[in-house]
C-alpha cells in the first residue's frame, strides 16, 4: 500500500504541475475534461495577433497542452489499474481473499505480484494458446507499468524459465507475428518489445551494499544460464524455411529480441558480446563448459539481409529482423548508446585493443553456407551475408564520435570529442593503416582496400565529425604524428588533439573512398571548412594579401589537392562496373548524403555558393569524364580542372566583398593574380603530390 501511495501521489502531482504550467502559458484548463483553450486576452498583443490570424497554429498549441495533461491523467489511471490488479484476490489462493476482492495472500512487492500474472499470460502464449483482447490489454498494461520495476522484471524472466524460457517465448511470438498470425503482427511484436525492456531492467547491477550484492548474484546466475542457453539449438520458423532441419542458436534468438529494446547496461552488453565471441573464437574456451569456440556456430543456409538501398544502407525489410550474426547484432545495439561502444573498444585497455584486433583481422565473418549441384548437392565455401559488418561499423562510428549513427548530431559542439573518443579514432585509423601496410612498404606496394564495404560510410562519417582536425592534418605542412617518445616536437590538432601523420590519414581516406558516397561525405565536410575559412576573410585581406589570406589559400588548396589526388587513384583503379557498384557514378545524386556535421553555422548565400563550387554536379561531370583515363592522365586532369574550383571560390568571395572585377584580372600589380592564386595553386599541387606519395606513385 505504501508503494501504491508513493506512485499514485507522484503521478497526481505531475498532473497538477502540468495544469499549472498550462495556465502560466496563457491556457484556460477545463477542470473536468482537461481541455485547454488559449486565453488570448492574457497574451501580449503581438503573440495574440499571431494566433488570431492563424487558427491552425492556435489549434496545435491548444492540442499540445491538452495532450500533455491527458497523458499525465492516463499515467495515473494506468498506475491505479496496475495496483488494483496486484491487490485483487488470486482464484488459486482459495479462501485467502474475497471473490474479486482483496488478495489476502498478497506478496510483499506489487511488482512481484504483477509478474506472476504476466508470466501466466506469456506462458499461455508459449503453450500455443491465444489471448483474448482483454488479456492482451491486461498484459500490455502490466508490462508498460512495470518495465522499470526491477523486482517485477526479475521475477518475470525467472518464472518464465530464465534465458531458456525467455528464448522460447520470444521464438513463439515471432513465429506468430511473421508467419502464423500476420494479421496480429503488431500485437505480438509489442509483447516481444516488452520482454526486451524487462531484460534491460533485470540485468542492471546498481545500488550499494547488500542491494548491490543481490543484484550481482541475480546477474551472475542469469549470465551463467545464458551462456548455456546461448549455445543450445531451438526450432523457429525463420530458420526452418530454407531447410526444415535447421535450428537457430539461443544467442541468435536473444540478440534478435534485444534489438527491439533499449536501455541495456554497459556491463550486460560488454559481457554478452564477449560471451558470444567466446562461443565462436577458436582461440578461446568457455570456462563453464570447457568448450572451444566454433567459427561456424552461427552458420545457416541462407542470408537474412534486408534490401540494399541506393544510398548503400540496408532496409529493415524481409527477414532482416533476425540477428543471424549475434556478435554484429550486439555491436549494433551498442551503437545506440555511444559511451558503451567507446568503452568496449577503449584502446587504453588490453581488452579494448584485443576486441578491435579480433573484429578487424581474425574473425570469421562468413556465416552463410553455400552449395552447388553436380548431380548431388556439394557443399561450397561459406560466404558473408550482404549486411555483414553493419553493426561493427555502426559501433565504431558511435564509439569514435559519441553520436548515434543515422541520427541528428547531439550536443552543442558535436565536433568536440572526449579524450577516449579521440584516442579511439587514432587507434582505428592506425590499425587499418597497419593492415594496409603490414611490412612498412611505400608507394604502390601497400594494400588499398582492406576495409569491408559496409564499414566505409561509417568511417567517413567519423572523419566528418572531426572536420577541423582532418583539415589541419591534410592542409598544414607540419607532422601531426605521435611524437610521445620525444623524437620530435609533438604537434596535435585543434580541437581534439589528434596525433596522426598525413600519410596515414591519406591512406585511410583512400580505403574509405572505395565507396564514392563515403568519399563525398569526407569531401563535403572539408569543403564546408574551406568555405567557412573563406567567409572570415575581409576586404583588407584581399587588398593587402595578408598572412591570413595566404594561410587560407594555401591550406585550402592543399586539402583540395589531397582529396583530388585520392579520387584520381580510386577512379583509375576501378573498372566501370565497379565505379557503378561502389557509388562513384552517382556521387552527388543523393541529397541526403554528405557531411553529417561540420560544426560550422550556415552563414548565408555566399557561404552556400562557396560550398557549391567545391561540390555538386560539376564533380559528377568530372568523374564521368575521367573514368577511362589512367592515373597520370587523371592527375593532370585534376590539376587543370580541379584547382580552378578553388580559384573561383576565392573570386566569388572577393566580388561579394565589393572588389571590382578588374581586381581579379590585374596581372602586374594585382594581389589576386600575383599572390592569392599562386598561394592557392601551390597548395593544391603540393596536396596532390603528397597524396601520390602516400598512396602510390612519385610525390
Pairing state of beta strands 376-383 and 368-374? antiparallel
Residue 444 has pLDDT above 50, yes or no: yes
Average of pLDDT values for 529-538? 93
pLDDT value of position 311: 83
Average of pLDDT values for 12-27? 89
pLDDT band at 375 (very low <50, low <70, confident <90, very high): low
In a 13 Å sphere around the CA of 434, the CA atoms on its Cβ side amount to: 10
In this structure, what DSSP letter does residue 249 have? E
The pLDDT tens digits for 50-92 are: 999 899 999 999 999 999 999 888 887 877 776 666 666 454 5
CA 632 centroid distance within chain: 39
Beta-carbon contacts of 60 under 8 Å, excluding residues fewer than 6 positions away, are: none
Cβ(559)–Cβ(687) below 8 Å: yes
Residue 374 has pLDDT above 90, yes or no: no
CA 418, 419, 424, 426 dihedral sign is positive
Beta-carbon contacts of 293 under 8 Å, excluding residues fewer than 6 positions away, are: 277, 278, 279, 280, 281, 282, 283, 284, 285, 286
Between 126 and 614, the higher pLDDT residue: 126
Which of 353, 349, 362 minimizes the C-alpha distance to 277? 362
Across 223-227, 293-297, 497-501, 596-600, least confident range: 596-600
CB atoms within 10 A of CB 385: 21
Gap between the Cα atoms of 80 and 86, Å rounded: 10
pLDDT value of position 166: 98
Mean pLDDT across the chain = 86
pLDDT value of position 569: 87
Average of pLDDT values for 471-478? 91
pLDDT band at 590 (very low <50, low <70, confident <90, very high): very low
Cβ(106)–Cβ(86) below 8 Å: yes
Its pTM stands at 0.83
Give the residues across from 187 on adjacent strands: none
Average of pLDDT values for 484-493? 61
Residue 175 has pLDDT above 50, yes or no: yes
Cβ(418)–Cβ(403) below 8 Å: no
CA distances from 387 to 254, 323, 332, 392 (A): 19, 11, 12, 11
The pLDDT tens digits for 392-427 are: 999 999 999 999 999 999 998 999 999 999 999 999
pLDDT value of position 536: 94
pLDDT band at 95 (very low <50, low <70, confident <90, very high): very low
Which of 506, 509, 472, 536 minimizes the C-alpha distance to 699? 506
Average of pLDDT values for 362-370? 96
The continuous run of DSSP H or E covering 528 comes out as helix 516-535
pLDDT value of position 2: 60
pLDDT value of position 585: 61
pLDDT band at 202 (very low <50, low <70, confident <90, very high): very high
Domain-wise residue ranges, the chain: 2-90, 264-407, 411-695
The pLDDT tens digits for 102-137 are: 555 555 566 788 898 999 999 999 999 999 999 999
Find the Cα–Cα–Cα–Cα dihedral 394, 338, 414, 547, rounded to 10°: -70
Gap between the Cα atoms of 694 and 510, Å rounded: 10
DSSP H helical ranges for 390-501: 390-401, 419-436, 453-464, 467-475
Amino acid at each position: 500500500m505504501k508503494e501504491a501511495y508513493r506512485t499514485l501521489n507522484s503521478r497526481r502531482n505531475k498532473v497538477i504541475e502540468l495544469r499549472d504550467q498550462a495556465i502560466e502559458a496563457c491556457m484556460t484548463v477545463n477542470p473536468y475534461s482537461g481541455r485547454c483553450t488559449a486565453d488570448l486576452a492574457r497574451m501580449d498583443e503581438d503573440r495574440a495577433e499571431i494566433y488570431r490570424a492563424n487558427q491552425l497554429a492556435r489549434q496545435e498549441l491548444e492540442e499540445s497542452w491538452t495532450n500533455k495533461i491527458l497523458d499525465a491523467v492516463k499515467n495515473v489511471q494506468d498506475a491505479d489499474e496496475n495496483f488494483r490488479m496486484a491487490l485483487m484476490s488470486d482464484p488459486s489462493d482459495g479462501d485467502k481473499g474475497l471473490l474479486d476482492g482483496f488478495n489476502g495472500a498478497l506478496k510483499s512487492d506489487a511488482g512481484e505480484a504483477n509478474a506472476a500474472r504476466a508470466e501466466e499470460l506469456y506462458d499461455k502464449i508459449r503453450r500455443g494458446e491465444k489471448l483474448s483482447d482483454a488479456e492482451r490489454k491486461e498484459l500490455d498494461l502490466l508490462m508498460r507499468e512495470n518495465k522499470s520495476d526491477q523486482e517485477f522484471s526479475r521475477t518475470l524472466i525467472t518464472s518464465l524459465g530464465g534465458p531458456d524460457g525467455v528464448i522460447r517465448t520470444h521464438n513463439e511470438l515471432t513465429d506468430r507475428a511473421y508467419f502464423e498470425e500476420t494479421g496480429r503482427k503488431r500485437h505480438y511484436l509489442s509483447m516481444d518489445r516488452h520482454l526486451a525492456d524487462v531484460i534491460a531492467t533485470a540485468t542492471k547491477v546498481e545500488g550499494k551494499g547488500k542491494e548491490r550484492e543481490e543484484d550481482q548474484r541475480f546477474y551472475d546466475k542469469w549470465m551463467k544460464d545464458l551462456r548455456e542457453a546461448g549455445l543450445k539449438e531451438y526450432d523457429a520458423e525463420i530458420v526452418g524455411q530454407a531447410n526444415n532441419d535447421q535450428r537457430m542458436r539461443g544467442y541468435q534468438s536473444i540478440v534478435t529480441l534485444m534489438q527491439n529494446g533499449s536501455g541495456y547496461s554497459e556491463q550486460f552488453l560488454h559481457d554478452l558480446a564477449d560471451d558470444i565471441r567466446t562461443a565462436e573464437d577458436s582461440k578461446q574456451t568457455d570456462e563453464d563448459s570447457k568448450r572451444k569456440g566454433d567459427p561456424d556456430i552461427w552458420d545457416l543456409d541462407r542470408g537474412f539481409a534486408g534490401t540494399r538501398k541506393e544510398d548503400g544502407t540496408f532496409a529493415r525489410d524481409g527477414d532482416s529482423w533476425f540477428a543471424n550474426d549475434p556478435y554484429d547484432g550486439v555491436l549494433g545495439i551498442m551503437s545506440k548508446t555511444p559511451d558503451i561502444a567507446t568503452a568496449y573498444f577503449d584502446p587504453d585497455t588490453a581488452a579494448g585493443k584485443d576486441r578491435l584486433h579480433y573484429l578487424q583481422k581474425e574473425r570469421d565473418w562468413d556465416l552463410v553456407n553455400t552449395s552447388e549441384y553436380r548431380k548431388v548437392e556439394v557443399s561450397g565455401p561459406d560466404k558473408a551475408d550482404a549486411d555483414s559488418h553493419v553493426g561493427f561499423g555502426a559501433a565504431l562510428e558511435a564509439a569514435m564520435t559519441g553520436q548515434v549513427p543515422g541520427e541528428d548530431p547531439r550536443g552543442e559542439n558535436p565536433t568536440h570529442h572526449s579524450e577516449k573518443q579521440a584516442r579511439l579514432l587514432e587507434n582505428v585509423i592506425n590499425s587499418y593503416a597497419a593492415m594496409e601496410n603490414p611490412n612498412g612498404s611505400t608507394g604502390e606496394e601497400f594494400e588499398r582496400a582492406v576495409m569491408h564495404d559496409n564499414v566505409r560510410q561509417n568511417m567517413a562519417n567519423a572523419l566528418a565529425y572531426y572536420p577541423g582536425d582532418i583539415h589541419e592534418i591534410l592542409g598544414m605542412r607540419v607532422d601531426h604524428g605521435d611524437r610521445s617518445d620525444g623524437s620530435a616536437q609533438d604537434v596535435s590538432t585543434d580541437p581534439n588533439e589528434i596525433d596522426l601523420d598525413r600519410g596515414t590519414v591519406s591512406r585511410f581516406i583512400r580505403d574509405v573512398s572505395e565507396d564514392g558516397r563515403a568519399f563525398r561525405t569526407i569531401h563535403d565536410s572539408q569543403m564546408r571548412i574551406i568555405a567557412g575559412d573563406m567567409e572570415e576573410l575581409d576586404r583588407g585581406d584581399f587588398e593587402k594579401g595578408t598572412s591570413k589570406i595566404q594561410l587560407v589559400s594555401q591550406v585550402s588548396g592543399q586539402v583540395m589537392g589531397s582529396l583530388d589526388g585520392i579520387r584520381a587513384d580510386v577512379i583509375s583503379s576501378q573498372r566501370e562496373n565497379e565505379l557503378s557498384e561502389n557509388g562513384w557514378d552517382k556521387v552527388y545524386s543523393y541529397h541526403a548524403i554528405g557531411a553529417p556535421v561540420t560544426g560550422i553555422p550556415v552563414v548565408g548565400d555566399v557561404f552556400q555558393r562557396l560550398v557549391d563550387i567545391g561540390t555538386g554536379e560539376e564533380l559528377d561531370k568530372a568523374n564521368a569524364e575521367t573514368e577511362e583515363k589512367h592515373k597520370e592522365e587523371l592527375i593532370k586532369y585534376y590539376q587543370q580542372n580541379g584547382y580552378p574550383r578553388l580559384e573561383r571560390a576565392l573570386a566569388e568571395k572577393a566580388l561579394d566583398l565589393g572588389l571590382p572585377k578588374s581586381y581579379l584580372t590585374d596581372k602586374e600589380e594585382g594581389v589576386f593574380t600575383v599572390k592569392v592564386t599562386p598561394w592557392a595553386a601551390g597548395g593544391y599541387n603540393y596536396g596532390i603530390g603528397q597524396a601520390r606519395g602516400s598512396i602510390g606513385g612519385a610525390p
